[in-house]
Structure 1
């Protein structure tokens, strides 16, 4: 998954969760003390959910980066070997 795509997904999740939290708690009639408890509880749940999402996307990005780095290094070594062979052929003449 691309870095920009992961950021967009995470941003969408955050905004959606915040919107749902506010709508669900503030629209429902209740005492202020109870409303604050609900907000706190849902904010903690949201924090846990965001941490899980962060770790998931961080791991996916790390895997993608490692795969890209390995492939890049492999191609780099192939090019170096090819150029060394060509150099050897040119210097023999």
Structure 2
């Protein structure tokens, strides 16, 4: 993972931790707190899936670009 990816992951983890701590220390009933934590967990899971999907797409495009470049260079030297 490159540096910007690590920074983005750390920021996302910090936001999630802050949200969870905020919910835990809020003066709500237990059932309301559990509901909020469940919602935040689902949102975080969706965000992670989305970022993973985008990263996978970028990697696939990068791989295709490399394969194309290698093929062109092989044909150029052949």
TM-score category, normalised to shorter length: 0.7 to 0.9
Flag structure 2 segments of 5+ consecutive residues without an equivalent.
Answer: none
Q: CA RMSD in A?
A: 2.0
Residue of structure 1 in register with 2:25 after alignment: 27
What number of residue pairs does the alignment pair up?
77
* Paired position in structure 2 for 1:41: 39
Q: Structure 1 length as normaliser, TM-score? A: 0.68
Q: TM-score, normalised by structure 2?
A: 0.78
Which sits farther off after the overlay, 10-19 or 62-71? 10-19
Point out which structure has higher relative CO (alpha carbons under 8 A, 6+ apart).
Answer: 1
Larger radius of gyration: 1
